[in-house]
Structure 1
Amino acid sequence: MEYVRIESIEDPLFAKMHALMGTIFPPEEVLEFSLWEEPLKDQGLRVYVAVHEGEVVGATEYRYYPDMRVAMTDFTIIGREGLGIGPFLVKHRAADLASWVARTEGPMLGMFAEIYNPYAVEDLGFGGVKPMNPYVRREVLSHLGYRRLDMDYVHPSWQGDGEAVGGLNLGFLAADESTESVPGALVGRFLRTYYDILNPKPAAWTAMVEAVERRDRVGLLPL
């Protein structure tokens, strides 16, 4: 299996990845094909695919913000069972992030991730791929060390329609396992930066961000 970076929508592997995304994720979670052109040129963003026998069987997108010393895993896709795609992506992503952080002032405080909450939304099929089952994914992320931020969470729809998308938790994988909370100001700054490109913003999202910014610390709870 190969770990291949995608940097252009002209790359044939990108079309395969985007098709896989459409199979796995709900429509409101998938950015339209042509709108990927500029993000893929961003050197602060990494999009990698797992390629097996010429086919895209998995993918991950992540980014690092040196000024905040936090990373974000945008998504992880496992497109086929029985190939060890999950561990393959986690290992290569961690190595790439470690190299990335080493070139900055670091160290990294941790990594955010939006985590589906199947206890709140039950009709998430994820293309019928068993490793993508939200209950399975949640437990895997818990084993990796992710915890959920103690806050109600929504995000703007990636369809750009101004709708608020719920059914998720905002998770955080702290670099220091003893960390019990993160600054509310950091959470707010991260969310404003991460969703800067999406407009209009839902009123529910704006209220959520303003509320978290008023908090001194936000606790980390088990998934």
Structure 2
Amino acid sequence: MEYHRITNIQDPLFKQMHQLMQDVFPPEEVLEFDLWKEPLEDPGIRVFVAVHNGKVVGATEYRYYEDFNVAMTDFTIIGQPGLGIGPFLAQKRAEDLNSLAEANGKKLFGMFAEIYDPYRVEHYEFGGVKPMDPYVRREVLAHLGYKRLDFPYVHPSWNNDGEAVEGLDLCFLPMEEGVNELQTDLIVKFLKRYYSVLSNKPQAWYTMIENLEAKEKVALLPI
């Protein structure tokens, strides 16, 4: 299996990846094809696909913030079972992020991720791909060490239509044992940076940010 980085919308593997995203994710979670041009060319956004026999069978997008020394996993897609795609992507992503942090003179502090909560929202089918089932994914991420940040989370729809998307938790994977809380300053700065690309944010998002800014720390809880 190959770990191939996509940096151009014209890459023929990107068309396969985008179709895979549409097959798996709800429509409001998938950026339109043409809108991927700038993100793919952004050196800070890392989009990789798992290629098996010339076919895209998985994908992951993530980024590393040098000034925060944290990463964000935008998404991970496992296109079919039985190939070890999940472990392959997780290992390759970790190797890449650790090398980026090392080049920054640091050891990676941790990684954010948005995780669906199927106990609140049950209608996510994810294209009928069982490894992408939200119950399975949540348990896998728990095993990897992710913890849930203890506040009600909403995020702006990637349709940039001002709608608030609920049914997810913002989670964090600390790289050191014993980290049970995060400074809200880090969370707020990260969220503002991450969603700066969306101009039309819902009021619920701004309210969430204001509530966070009123606190000093947020607990990390089991998923």
Please classify the TM superposition score into its range, dividing by the shorter chain length. Answer: over 0.9
Report deviation, 1:109: 1.4
Which SS does the other structure have where 1:4 is aligned? strand
The answer on whether the counterparts of 1:5 and 1:47 sit within 8 Å (CA) in structure 2 is: yes
For 1:53 and 1:101, locate their aligned partners in 2 and report how far apart those are by CA, in whole Å.
32
Contact 1:149 1:170 in 2 (8 A): yes
Q: What RMSD over aligned residues (CA atoms) do the two structures have, in Å?
A: 0.6
For the residues of structure 1 that align with 2:26 and 2:93, how far apart are their CA atoms? 24
Residue number in structure 1 paired with 2:53: 53
C-alpha separation in 2, matches of 1:99 and 1:139? 27
Aligned to 1:146: 146
Q: CA deviation at 1:170?
A: 0.2
Task: Kindly indicate whether residue 75 of structure 2 is the aligned counterpart of residue 78 of structure 1.
Answer: no
Equivalent residue number for residue 6 of structure 1 = 6
Q: Name the counterpart of 2:102.
A: 102
Matches within 5 A, 1:73-222: 73-222=73-222
Q: Residue deviations 1:25-46, cap 9 Å, x none?
A: 0000000000010011111110
Unaligned runs of 5+ in 1: none
Separation in structure 1 between the aligned mates of residue 193 and residue 145 of structure 2, nearest angstrom: 24
1:57 match: secondary structure:
strand
One-letter code aligned to 1:8? N
1:51–1:58 Cα contact (<8 Å) kept: yes
Distance in 1, Cα, partners of 2:177 & 2:171: 14
Structure 1 distance, partners of 2:77, 2:192, is 25
Distance (Å, rounded) in 1 between the aligned partners of 2:61 and 2:211: 28
Q: Residue 130 of structure 2 aligns to which amino acid in structure 1?
A: K
Amino acid at match of 1:135: Y
User: Following TM superposition, by how much is the alpha carbon of 1:176 offset from its aligned partner in structure 2, in angstroms?
Assistant: 1.1
Aligned length: 223
Aligned to 2:66: 66
Q: For 1:66-95, what per-residue CA distance to the aligned partner results, in whole angstroms no more than 9, with x for missing partners?
A: 101110000000001100000000010000
- TM-score, with length taken from structure 1: 0.99
Q: Does the CA-based 8 Å contact 2:98-2:107 persist in structure 1?
A: no
Tell me how far 1:108 sits from its aligned partner.
1.9
Contact 1:45 1:61 in 2 (8 A): yes
Look up the match of 2:18: 18
Q: Distance in 1 between matches of 2:208 and 2:109?
A: 23
Q: CA deviation at 1:106?
A: 2.0
| CA shift digits 1:14-70 (9 cap, x unpaired) | 000000000000000000000010011111110000000111000000000010111
Q: Is the 8 A contact 2:110 2:172 kept in 1?
A: yes
Quote the offset at 1:105 in angstroms. Answer: 3.2
